[in-house]
Structure 1
Amino acid sequence: MNRNIIPFYSSLLHVISVIVIAVLTFGPMTAVSAILPDTSEQDQERPLIKEMLHLGPVNYFSPVFHDDPAIDGSKWDATEILLSDLMDYDEWQPREGLPVAWSDGQHPEWTAHTLADSILVLPGATKEHHNISWSAVYLSNDRFMPASITLKSEGMIRAFLNGEEIAVKNHTDTEDGAEAGSVNANVNLRQGTQLLLVKTMHPAAENSSGSEEELPDWTLEVQVDAGEHQHRIASVIVPERHVMQRDLSNAPRPAGVSVSPDGDLAAVHVRRDLPPDGTPETHIDIRNIPEGTIRHRFAGGMDITGMQWLPEGLRFSYTEAGNDGTNLWVIDLETGEKERILKDVEDFAGYRWSPDASYVIYSVTEKHDPGRDGVIHYRGLQDRRPGYHDRSFLYKLNVEQGSTRRLTAGLLSTTLNSIHPDGKKILFSRNHEVYDERPYGETEYIILDLQTMQTDSLFTVKFAGSGQFSPDGDRILITGGPGTFGDEGVNIPDTLLPNDYDTQAYLYDLESREITSITRDFDPEITGASWDETGRYIYFTVTEKSYRNLYRYDTRRERFRLYDTGPDVAGSLDLAENKAVGVFTGSGASDTPKAWTIDFTDRSPSATVLYDPGAEAYQHVAFGDVREWTFTNKWDEEIDGHVYYPPDFDEDKEYPVIVYYYGGTTPVTRAFAGRYPKELYAAKGYLVYVLQPSGATGFGQEFSARHVNDWGEIAGEEIITGVAAFLDDHAYADRERVGAMGASYGGFMTMYLLTQTDLFAAAVSHAGISNLASYWGEGFWGYQYSGVATANSFPWNRQDIYVNRSPVFQADDIHTPLMLVTGMSDTNVPPGESLQMFTALKLLDRDVAFIAVKDQDHHILDYKKFIRWKEAIISWFDKWLKDEPEWWKENKSDFE
């Protein structure tokens, strides 16, 4: 919570006096509309808070020898109890009847109290002990507002808002005739749920001599004053609420999952980021499949990364960073033994077990730092990329002997793709720079015989991915673009060029040296692949429209089968070595991330939840509906889309709209939250319409090929057409209050759209491209991305693209208020792309804002900066789409 003091204009404020410890939230979602503020401004004289929750009092003893002076001469003081965090308040979600673990086996419960004359009378305290109490209430505010909170009590007070201390009163007022003292805090209440927690305390009376005599009842009074916005707050004593940014930032989530060889156990890596600075807290659970019951937990500072199950037995390995390098450990779950098999390897870069666990192939990066004197000679286009001159090479560790030997060297890095099932050979790849043909690089695939050290160079191709040996070792599964093997994988009209980001799958026969496309007529894009143990089936995770689905390909019958994976977006599948059981992580629109498992041996396999680490964090959070909505483009094709609704949606009202898109080569999936959390925008009272215009993968090759050399023309027309049709089809969507937002290519699309239409009332472009030529030449990956997106087109031969579709050259056509956001260390889309447009619009005297995020690259990853970035975007839309400029003004002053 921001603790900035804000101006307090008493002549405008209506003061509500109550005796509480308050928790501010966005109301109970079991009956959301019942607790939303009454925005009619009627009946403002009634008490705001009529009920509250209370916990305690609990007793606290002074430490022994507390009367003895410390080494510096000071004596212990009871205010230490007040100022100490006796429990983890960040985890508290008070509700009636909820017990709280206290010392000596005590479990006091939260109790509900009805206020009498707006005063909460706290139970009498005893003189012998220090007496501590907590009280709580939930306030729902439907907009940003400054407020003043005044706390008054005979006892000591310490108050928190969202876990951050906002006020302290460290003395008591218990003398006869003494008036209860007060303390004040000026705060900014974000729309939604805030937690105000007030801890009150009566110290033990001096010279009590063990007396159990009770002190008189004492009170706590809280005045909440939001001035002209007082009618926009309601109070409740239940924790149900809408989602907040702190939920998305702090809730535990599965960061990875893997399955044991026998398919009976899963390792679930869980991560959460802790406020106030995002310090990560991680643990790994070993859970039984399919029940999800926990068998082991590894936590408490144990730095487990790079975890892998060994091919045999109940053993797993992990890497641990030490002062002198990386160590590789093996843990046996049956015996409990732990063994280090690799010690202090500098610049360790990954590893993989052999099929019989007799050896490990691992990678080491050799660091090179050209231009140590600050002067560098760039010989190639990739030289300027940080780490480009580093080289990674392969090593083999013989586990039983503990010996290692180097396998690769030379000018180029080598990347392990696969280990042959007989353990005698490996498949690795090397990337070559090639400037005479797009995409200006190619990948060479090589088999290395580990016994003879002889190599067999299989092929060198463009737009390539990775390779895997089949279980019998006779074939290799290769992923790559439609054009990776000439026309073998291409399925588009001759008038189009393939979008080689639309990943396909191929089978390469090692004996005949023939390549076969297995996805040429399969519309979804391949995102992951795993052979089963028999070699008959290949399991694919795919992007299919806005979903990530799971398919099985039968290599004999040459057909695909779709499985019920549960969540909208399934992550990479980890398949057991010896059983057709898999695990994966997954989430969906308004469906929080979980670990899932699926047993393919069932007659009708479907995924089930293995573990939901965020269940407790989201237990009181309600989300709005997510509904499909499509329209037809000029090719008579259905353009996919979906809409996020506010949790308290009322179709008789009008709502502002945020339109979100990427518009480039990949669709916006239905994954939960992410960098642009649609669920959060909906919780703030917006309809959020997400659409997938032509050019995206997952809809078939002809659809994705329209991305090539488009740069806004087709996709932009479809977005404008789709938004107009959406507004016509939804009477509750306010056509006068429509915002547009996109990032990277979507940021370019935002700027381009504003040169073409006045449909939008405000827009946000994050890391957008304003000048295609400068992005092509300056962005670290600009020329390579353009090798697909602007295939065979250059500034000297396609000015119709590089000039006419660059938004900065049409900046005078922009009249929509535009926020430009960029990480100032962005090497993908350099900050100059936003700065060029900012310069143009400032000189044109247009409404424009520029938010520069220091020390961040293409993605804003810093915990605190991520939150400020999100707040800037929402407050910008609140200003222009809700006519609520206060939060933007507050943010702007903070930014300055």
Structure 2
Amino acid sequence: MKKKICFILVLFLSIPTLYAAKDVKVMQYKHVGPITVNKPFMADTMNVNGKPYEVKNLLKSTLPFDRALSSSEVLQADTAGTVSFAIPQKGYALHLFSFFLNSDRYVKGTLEVTGNGAFEVYVNDNSVGASSELTMEPRRYEIVIKYLTTEADTCNATLKTVFKSKDNVEVIASLNPEKRYTLNNILEGKDFRGIAVSPNGKYTLVKYINRFPKGKSESYSQLLDATTGRVLLQDNGFLTNARWMPKSNLLYYTRKGLNGKELITVDPTNMRETVLVDNLPEGTFKFTPDEASLLFTIEEEGPKEGNELIRVLEPNDRLPGFRDRSFIWRYDLRSGLYEQLTFGYQDTYINDISADGRYLLFSIDENTYTELPHTRSSLYKMDLTNMAVDTIWEKAPYVNQAAFSPDRKQLLVTGSGDAFDGIGLNIKEGQLSNDFDGQLFIYNLTDHKATPLTKDFNPNVMNAVWNRYDGQIYILTEDQDCQYIYTCNPVNGKIKQIVTSEEVISGYSLANAAPVLFYYGQSASNANRLYAYDLKGGKSKLMYDLSSDKLKDIVLGEVHDWNFTSDDGTTIQGRYYLPPHFDPSKKYPMIVYYYGGTAPTNRMLEMRYSMHMYAALGYVVYTLNPSGTTGFGQEFAARHVNAWGIKTADEIIKGTKLFCKEHNFVNDKKIGCIGASYGGFMTQYLQTRTDIFAAAISHAGISALSSYWGEGYWGYGYCSVANKGTYPWNNPEFFTKQSPLFNADKINTPILLLHGNVDTNVPIGESIQMFAALKILGKTVEFVQVDGENHGIMGYSKRIGWQNTIFAWFAKWLKDEPEWWTAMYPERTL
């Protein structure tokens, strides 16, 4: 026979005292129980602290909530919110009751749980008191009550849950597991760190990172059968640091041994380890393709200045480690000879090693401040058999990297369109090339002539590999708002896209001796996935779907492309994100986001300014790639040069107005805008040109070109591209006319300035001076510094605080909900 216990679980929501309270009753519950627990054997009546055993100590018995509740039953409450359930006649038992709380906005309140039994309350797996303050952001919270029943319980046992708040908000209690997409989904969970295919294509090394709450993380790796995807080995030790040898299909790593540093090889067929060499020199190295030698990059410390008076020799002397130099050393694996290959005042960099291991391609970069570009590159070929060196070019402008063709007769060179006297340029007369737009060239070592490969190819070249197996060049590109892989036939120059299963490819690896490619990437509405690609068959095979776990129970809104035609007839590409459960009959506030620097806003889900994250809060999010963006062709990218808002601002303003006109679900009185770095500049500049925005956010924004161009670590370098040939002394009007600071009196939009206070890219002075200007002008402005953070906010808790500051600012001005902002930044008088 079983007894009955009456269990009452009611959630009340009280609105401000001026109004009658509105009770929200929990009408359904997930329930698991009874789960029998036993009292321990009483060796003594008191414990070591002199305390007697209490029955409520049985609540210390743990249960994994997710696992237990996966087999739960749904209990329906009566109209009063009361639930009755059976308990064992004898002994002790645990019961779990759970439900979800969702708020449509930021709210603070008190969660009160009362009852005459023993219980514990958990909010998102964190133990809270029976009466505890609960601050709810607009997302889902899981409430779990762990309740202990005993044979002494009677039918009048009760439990009541009440959420009290002074705010008039809509809080919903339900069993719907649906979640919003939040910052935690980006900061936490599993992700790829890299992939590497063995030379024969039979194995793949996949590296992961697990990110935990509060900023902790761990890395590990898996060795996969490349055909089946079967995990052959998982390890957070040697595999995490392992790499493939160039041709022997062995993994290698280093470890500390009895005779110094050891170089270890691992045979993936049997996991047998072999000590290849001991007493290995310290430093980073790479194998020569013939596996006969190791080439080390060794850092030499440069001279130091005093601690009180520090002489700066040149602009780059401000950079940490600038005075240190790197040189190339060789370690012969057969003889153990360790010798220096390069020496001098300038750094030397390994570019490539020929497939036969005979020739080393290395470069030397020199700063040339008095002419553009400010860096010139010299390239040399060293015969490793006799140390003979041939000069390929000296002090060449606009050239970045070079690599041997498989037959070492040619070089694959990356650079800008201006390289090799501009043979790769494809811009209009009067334009200057955007040197952030990458191009490819083939350089013939016999006649020393360069041929452009991508002159008529619009995507921006991010990196390229000349594959030894099929002789094709594989190119990772920014292709408008996507990242795709292309192949280029070096014989006829034909370029063809590899049809991948994701819109943004983040990493890929090719086998040296087999038609095997692995890649991973994500798209606008899914997280990363890993694929194997058959280069002969031309098909992708899904190997691991991280997205299925990371997006479990998360509902995302729809994403739609939306383009418009600018005043000069150019098609400006964009897209928009709708809130989950979008209702076209409603009016939604909107956020507009635009690029930072000159790179496109791509279709990644897990980006720092994830559009879905904002859409989940009830915003329509519109993003566009205006003139000057790379990935749309050289001419389009060149519009970035000497512009600083010219044309771009007009396109953002026109796009925003047209979007609102064509989409009546947008409240055109509640539009916000946000951008970072160059995008932060654009936020400030836009407010000098228009009043269509109800709120604006500038992170690390540039307010005055006259100070930025030479102030930050990279200011003069970035400006050598963005305002090529234009300086404060030869065009002072440009530096004032296009600077938001010099037009601060035109700003009427409430603006939030965010800045890391040790930003070396865009120094915090850019926000300081704009803040001072707007304060003097009596404008609505807030300035929040993130302590100890550089250009990007990296610290876990700081990242959350920074993001919540953004959410709170938009909630205040776009939703008329100031509570979040007031809670974070209460009014103060000094």
TM-score tier by shorter-chain length is over 0.9
Q: Counterpart of 1:159?
A: 121
The alpha carbon displacement at 1:825 in A equals 0.9
Residues 331-372 of structure 1, C-alpha deviations (whole Å, 9 max, x = no match): 322222235657788973x43222233333232333447225
Give 1:428 deviation, angstroms.
Answer: 1.8
Deviations 1:100-150 (A, max 9, x none): xxxxxxxxx322211233134465367655x43322102222111112211
1:320, 1:326 within 8 Å by CA — same for their partners in 2?
yes
**1:15-68 CA distance string (max 9 Å, x none):** xx994599x9xxxxxxxxxxxxx9xx9998564311111233434456667638
Task: Quote the RMSD (CA, aligned, Å).
Answer: 3.0
Q: What amino acid does structure 2 have at the position aligned with 1:184?
A: S
Change (3 A) 1:70 1:571: same
Distance 1:609 1:18, change over 3 A: farther
2: distance between equivalents of 1:888 and 1:683? Answer: 19
Task: Tell me the equivalent position of 2:32.
Answer: 55
Equivalent residue for 2:370, pick from 430, 436, 439:
436
1:241 and 2:179 aligned: yes
Correspondence for 2:193: 255
Task: Tell me whether 1:498 sits opposite 2:439 in the alignment.
Answer: no
Question: Structure 2 counterpart of 1:794, which letter?
Answer: Y
SS in 1 for 2:168: helix
247-256 or 814-823, larger mean C-alpha shift: 247-256
Distance 1:723 1:456, change over 3 A: same
Q: Which amino acid aligns with 1:259?
A: V
Q: How does 1:784-795 map to 2 (within 5 A)?
A: 784-795=717-728
Choose the corresponding residue for 1:633, options 566, 569, 573. 566
How is 1:123-522 mapped onto 2 (pairs within 5 angstroms)? 123-124=86-87, 131-167=93-129, 183-201=130-148, 215-216=153-154, 219-229=158-168, 232-275=170-213, 277-299=214-236, 302=237, 305-318=240-253, 329-339=264-274, 348=283, 350-368=284-302, 370-399=304-333, 404-459=338-393, 460-522=395-457
Query: Are the counterparts in 2 of residues 120 and 219 from structure 1 also a CA contact under 8 Å?
Result: no
Q: Distance in 1 between matches of 2:158 and 2:259?
A: 59
Q: Could you say if the C-alpha distance between residues 641 and 49 of structure 1 is closer, same or farther in structure 2, counting changes exceeding 3 Å?
A: same
Matched, 1:883 2:820: no
Give 2:192's aligned amino acid. P
From the superposition, tell whether residues 888 and 458 of structure 1 become closer, same or farther in structure 2 (CA, over 3 Å): same
Contact 2:254/2:261, CA 8 A, preserved across alignment: yes
Question: One-letter code of the match for 1:285?
Answer: Q
Alignment partner for residue 659 of structure 1, among 585, 588, 592? Answer: 592
- Counterpart CA distance in 1 for 2:562 and 2:127 is 45
1:13 is matched with: none
Contact 2:288 2:295 in 1 (8 A): yes
SS in 1 for 2:703: coil
Distance in 2 of aligned mates of 1:805 and 1:324: 63
Q: 1:765 to 1:310 in 2, by over 3 A?
A: same
Per-residue deviation at 1:69? Answer: 6.7
- What is the total number of aligned residue pairs between the two structures? 817
Distance 1:520 1:94 in 2: 61
Change (3 A) 1:564 1:547: same
**Residue of structure 2 in register with 1:693 after alignment:** 626
Deviation at 1:729, TM superposition (A): 1.1
Distance in 2 (alpha carbons) for counterparts of 1:288 and 1:122 = 51
Q: 2-side partners of 1:622 and 1:340: how far apart?
A: 51
For residue 524 of structure 2, the aligned residue among 572, 577, 589 is 589
The verdict on how the C-alpha distance between 1:744 and 1:340 changes in structure 2, with shifts beyond 3 A counting, is farther
The alpha-carbon deviation at position 599 of structure 1 amounts to 1.2
SS in 1 for 2:462: strand
**Counterpart position of 2:691:** 758
Change (3 A) 1:556 1:432: same
Separation in structure 2 between the aligned mates of residue 335 and residue 672 of structure 1, nearest angstrom: 39
Structure 1 position 739 matched with structure 2 position 672: yes
Letter in 2 for 1:112: V
* Residue 29 of structure 1: aligned partner: none
Query: Could you give the per-residue CA deviations for residues 68-97 of structure 1, whole angstroms, max 9, x where no partner exists?
Result: 87777677777666468x4666xx4886xx
Distance 1:585 1:159 in 2: 41
Identical residues among aligned pairs (%): 31
Q: Do residues 118 (structure 1) and 117 (structure 2) align? A: no
* Alpha-carbon contact 1:285-1:295 (below 8 Å) kept: yes
Offset at 1:633?
1.4
3-state SS of paired residue (2:521): strand
C-alpha distance in 1 between matches for 2:746 and 2:632: 33
Q: Is the 8 A contact 2:207 2:240 kept in 1?
A: no
* CA gap 1:66/1:331 in 2 versus in 1, 3 angstroms: farther
- SS in structure 2 of the partner of residue 364 of structure 1: strand
For structure 2, list consecutive stretches of 5 or more residues without a partner in the other structure.
1-5
| Separation in structure 2 between the aligned mates of residue 438 and residue 319 of structure 1, nearest angstrom | 43
- Specify which structure has the bigger relative contact order, considering alpha-carbon pairs within 8 angstroms and separated by 6 or more residues: 1
Map 1:445-844; keep pairs closer than 5 Å: 445-459=379-393, 460-534=395-469, 536-602=471-537, 605-662=538-595, 664-844=597-777
Give the whole-Å Cα distance in 2 for the aligned partners of 1:120 and 1:323. 68
CA distance in structure 2 between the aligned counterparts of 1:66 and 1:461, rounded to whole angstroms = 84
Say which of 67, 74, 86 aligns to 2:44.
67
Change (3 A) 1:860 1:341: farther
State how far apart, in whole Å, the 1-side matches of 2:621 and 2:775 are.
29
1:597-637 Cα shifts (integer Å, max 9, x gaps): 211110xx243322123422312112111111011112211
Residue 622 of structure 2 aligns to a residue whose secondary structure is strand
Task: Give the direction of change, closer, same or farther, for the CA distance of 1:295–1:691 in structure 2 (3 Å limit).
Answer: same
Q: Provide the rounded CA distance (Å) in 1 between the counterparts of 2:424 and 2:443.
A: 13
Post-superposition offset of 1:156: 3.1
Tell me, yes or no, if the aligned pair for 1:166 and 1:185 is still in contact at 8 Å.
yes
The equivalent residue for 2:3 is none
How far residue 471 of structure 1 moved from its aligned partner, in angstroms, is: 1.1
In structure 2, distance between residues paired with 1:338 and 1:330: 6
Return closer, same or farther for 1:764/1:45 CA change in 2, 3 Å cut-off: closer
Contact 1:664 1:695 in 2 (8 A): no
- What displacement does 1:481 show? 0.7
Task: Give me the whole-angstrom Cα distance separating, in 2, the residues matched to 1:199 and 1:73.
Answer: 27
Read off the aligned partner of 1:118 and give its amino acid letter. Answer: G
Secondary structure of 1:616 counterpart: helix
In structure 2, the CA distance between the partners of 1:214 and 1:269, relative to structure 1 (3 Å rule), is farther
> For each residue in 1:180-237, what CA deviation from the matched residue of structure 2 results, as whole angstroms up to 9, or x when unmatched?
xxx21111111121233333345x8xxxxxxxx675465543212344435x122322
TM-score normalised by structure 2 residue count? 0.92
SS at match of 2:390: strand
Q: Which amino acid aligns with 1:309?
A: W
SS in 1 for 2:706: helix
Cα distance in 2, alignment partners of residues 346 and 682 from structure 1: 53
**Cα distance in 1 between the residues matched to 2:256 and 2:458:** 43
Q: Per-residue deviation at 1:160?
A: 2.7
Q: Once the 2 structures are TM-superposed, how far is the Cα of residue 838 of structure 1 from its aligned partner?
A: 0.7
Task: Kindly provide the amino acid, as one letter, of the partner of residue 172 in structure 2.
Answer: A
Deviates more, 1:427-436 or 1:639-648: 427-436
> What is the rounded CA distance, in whole Å, between the counterparts of 2:211 and 2:335 in structure 1?
41
